[in-house]
Structure formats: C-alpha cells, structure tokens
Amino acid sequence: MNADLSHILVFGPLVVAFAVSALVLLVRFDLAPVGSFAGAFEGPGRWFLGAALGFGIVGFSIKLAIITILASFPRQTIAPLLADPVEMRARAAARLAAPP
C-alpha cells in the first residue's frame, strides 16, 4: 500500500463518522422540529430529509472506497492498464509529422 495514502485512510473514516453523527443530530434536533411542516418531518419524513442531506456523505464514502481499492491493487494489476508514455509520445509525434 502506498504510504502517502495513510493519512487519507486514517482520517477518512473518522470524517465520515463525524459527518453521519452531525447529520443525525442536525435532522433530529434542529431541522425536523423547526420545519414549517412539523408533521411532515415526523416518522418517514425525517428519513427522507436525512437521506437528502446525506448524499454528500455517501459520495465521499464511495470516493474513499475507490481510493482504498486502487491503493490495494498490486503493481502488476494496474501497470498493464496504464498507457506507456513513450509509446503515446511516439504516436503523437507521428500524427503531427504526417501530412494532412
């Protein structure tokens, strides 16, 4: 695993846990009771409000999962998928040198 990613992989789950707890407290004690339609935010309305505000947390969690998965791949798995820079430069030079 890449040592440079250790900070992201340590603090990422902590940030997600903090964000989830802040979201739960915000929806439960602040937004839902103060809303103009207090009856709508009782029961399933709170779940919809929490889900709507929680999509950012879900997106951040997916990004962390992708970073973790890609960092866990061995070099033999990723290297064949990457383009060879020397070959790419040679192709670009050939295209530029060819007459239109």
What does the pLDDT look like over 15-51, one tens digit per residue? 889 988 888 888 777 766 655 555 545 666 677 777 8
pLDDT recorded at residue 85 = 77
User: Please, which residues have CB within 8 angstroms of residue 67's CB and are 6 or more apart in sequence?
Assistant: 5, 8, 9, 12
Instruction: Quick: pLDDT tens for 69-92.
Output: 777 776 666 667 777 778 888 888
Largest CA distance in the chain: 72
Can you say whether residue 62 is alpha, beta or left, with left for phi > 0 and alpha for psi between -120 and 50 degrees? alpha
Report d(CA 57, CA 17) in Å as an integer.
Answer: 9
**Full-model pTM:** 0.55
Which residue, chain included where needed, has tokens 């935010």? Answer: 41
